Amino acid sequence: MMRRREFITLFSGAAAAWPVWARAQQANKLPIVAFFSPNTRSVASPWTAAFVERLREVGWIEGRTIAIEYRWGEGRGDRTAEVVAEFVRLKPHVIVTHGQLNIVAAKEATSAIPIVFALATDPVASGFVASLARPGGNATGLSIQGTDLVGKRLELLREVVPGLRRLAIMSDFRNPEMAEAQAAARKLGLEVNTFPLHRPEDITPAFAALKDTADALYVGADPLVNSSRIRINILALGARLPTMHGFREAVEVGALLSYGPNFADLFRRAADYVDKILRGAKAADLPVEQPTKFDLVINLTTAKALELEVPPTLLARADEVIE
């Protein structure tokens, strides 16, 4: 016959092993996911929708079995530390975020709360994880191979702009993609001008400075740029500059080309990490995954406005052509 002390010890051990969702329900409290996008709500909406839809598919219904606290950075970095500190005080069961600045802030703020990064340019080089296979620590998620794709983007841009000699590069000054783009452009023998952005107000002066100095514009994939993509596209078209972006949503609002991971798919997969963590897995044990879907998107309306002929071979390879 089991003694009372043995029973209590056994029960306590079993309770400690329960998934966090079960313990939260025992306390009549829904598990909390803290979701922080550095973009505006509208920019992030297709990615957020994919994330929430996938959570629903695996049994987490917002407002019924899970609570999601959303915060938006509006493309600026000045509220990042404040939002992350607020999340730590909230004590959520997991923090979901993306963007270099947000992930760094989350990692610095807590070593206890699990962090899932939906998009990270290079999580190993950035120090977010020890390795892709064994993250260690409290963070894991999805790498977008941001720096690995720069050369491919420039090759695609040269197919549309065969006389390309001078390249302007524009991105948030903290985006590691900028240095990679410079190196890749110089390998191709291109003259390079860089335009690092510190805030959205820097965009219009940057276009004034690059006037008549470039044949095309490479735009980094980062929250500052993403949130200002319509203004960048309007100014680029006014300057008659073909643009290459890293995400399809920019081409949907007037950019010429994009090549990169499908962000909505990555946010769906981020929901799987959240599901596993809520069911008891540790972030340290969940390997970082990489993209499986890459999209080449071409805007033919923009090409015609720039009087550019997109090669039929490139159109045949495109995942989507906007006319």
d(CA 263, CA 47): 6
Does 144 or 203 have the greater pLDDT score? 203
> Does the pLDDT value for residue 292 go beyond 70?
yes
Burial zone of 66 (CB within 10 Å; 0-12 exposed, 13-18 middle, 19+ buried): buried
Residue showing tokens 């410079």: 182
**For residue 245, what pLDDT band results from cuts at 50, 70 and 90?**
very high
Average confidence (pLDDT) over 263-278: 96
Evaluate if residue 18 carries a pLDDT over 80: no
- Structure confidence at residue 9 (pLDDT): 43
3 band by pLDDT with thresholds 50, 70 and 90: very low
Assess if CATH 3.90.1300.10 describes domain 4-145+263-293.
no
Which pLDDT belongs to residue 148?
Answer: 73
Measured CA distances, 285 to 127, 137, 282 (Å): 16, 9, 5
The count of residues in the chain is: 323
Domain ranges of the chain: 4-145+263-293, 147-261+295-322
- Can you tell me whether residue 234 is helix, strand or coil? helix
Taking the C-alpha atoms of residue 94 and residue 25, their distance in angstroms, rounded to an integer, is: 16
pTM recorded for the entire structure: 0.81
Of 143-157, 246-260, 273-287, 306-320, give the lowest mean pLDDT range: 143-157
Percentage of residues in the chain having pLDDT higher than 70: 91
Residue 122, token pair as written in the block: 């290079």
Measure the N-to-C terminal CA separation of the chain; round to a whole number of Å. Answer: 77
Mean pLDDT (the chain) is 89
Fold agreement (4-145+263-293, 147-261+295-322): yes
Q: What is the rounded distance in angstroms from the CA atom of residue 299 to the CA atom of residue 252?
A: 7
Region 230-241 average pLDDT: 95
* CATH code of domain 147-261+295-322: 3.40.50.2300
The pLDDT value given to residue 223:
83
Q: Is the pLDDT of residue 28 over 80?
A: no
* Tens digit of each residue's pLDDT (9 = 90 or more) over 35-59: 999 988 988 899 999 999 999 999 9
Confidence of residue 19 (pLDDT cuts 50, 70, 90): low
Residue 323 has pLDDT above 80, yes or no: yes
What's the rounded mean pLDDT across residues 283-298? 94
Q: Check: CB of residue 184 under 8 Å from CB of residue 226.
A: no
Gyration radius of the chain's alpha carbons: 22
